[in-house]
Chain A
Amino acid sequence: MKRGFTVIEVLIAIVMLSVTAATVFPAVGWLIIKSRQLVYDAQAASVLQEGMEASYNVLLTGWDDMRAGRTYSPQVEFAGGEQRWAMTEGEEEVETRFTRGIQVGEVCRYNETGEQADCDDDDVTLDPESKLLTGKVSWTERGEDKVITATLLVVGL
């Protein structure tokens, strides 16, 4: 009877186990990172949507609350026992992780077609009834900078 044979078997088993472990554990770690990323992405999208919706509401109440070329961040203010949106200038920190800013821009249109145009182009007119909102939410994730943006054309007739 060869008694040394079992040692080889054990060695093979150990090698196979460690190979499996070495491939499975990084994969599990990657899955965990990925799922956390998805959670942050979803939160960021919700923060951005909140900003855009609030800005739309404030803009339609009056153009003067948000001036073109500036960046704002929506906040909830208490006025007369009621809560309502208010804009403060500059970017703000939301939920400790995200930085949010909503920029207001003028809208120019081609004189002939009425389509949206670059304000530096020829034959364009500034449209006083429209503003363009550009929202931006940025955050850092494992040392990497991430950003999502959204635009919304606000027409108040």
Chain B
Amino acid sequence: MTMRKGFTLVELMIAMTLSALIFVTVSSLLVTILTANTKSRRQEAFEQVKNDLGSEFSSTLRWAQEVVIGEDDSLTVDGKVYRADGGRLTKDGQAITPEGVRVESFSVNSLSRSADLTSVKVEVELTDASFNLAQDRLVVVVSQRQTEVGGGP
């Protein structure tokens, strides 16, 4: 009886093909999972900012006494100035958006039919600070509420 020492060529080739296949599958899966993870974290950051800004503008503009839309894309609500500055949105000079999210543009349009009450459309374009390809935008429309008797139709 002859003892078989080592593998045959065919066995070796099968083993190599199999391990190569497994390696490719596992590594591509790993890449997919890692990308998805970054993506979802980025998305979460965007959602957070959109939520924060949405409720900020809704609550302040709705019950504001005085709203002024500046020529330089600034918005003044009851003396507090909102403007985009260095990739962040600022309120009276204080940044109200986090570092990881870049504010590309901030624009405010007045769409009101009334002379006394404002109705503004606030548009904010966001990009990822570290990876510029990802972007998102927030559009929020708020109409100022009538709080004084005699201002209605």
Residues of chain A whose beta carbon lies under 8 Å from any beta carbon of chain B: 46, 49-50, 53-54, 56-63, 65, 76, 82-86, 129, 155-157
Tell me the nearest residue of chain A to B119, going by C-beta.
Answer: A57
Known contacts A49-B140, A53-B141, A63-B153; 5 further A-B pairs (Cβ under 8 A): A60-B143, A82-B110, A83-B110, A84-B112, A157-B150
Given A63-B153, A156-B152, A156-B153: A57 in contact with B114 (beta carbons within 8 A): yes
Residues on the A chain within 8 Å of B142, using CB:
53
Q: Does the CB pair B117–A60 fall under 8 Å?
A: yes
Distance, CA A54 to CA B143, complexed state (A):
7
Q: Does the CB pair B149–A157 fall under 8 Å?
A: yes
Q: Does the CB pair B139–A76 fall under 8 Å?
A: no
Query: What count of chain B residues pass the 8 Å CB interface test?
Result: 21
Q: Does the CB pair A57–B146 fall under 8 Å?
A: no
B20 at the interface (CB under 8 A from A): no
Which among B109, B117, B141, B150 is the interface contact of A50 at CB below 8 angstroms?
B141
Q: What's the minimum C-beta distance from B32 to chain A, rounded to whole angstroms?
A: 10
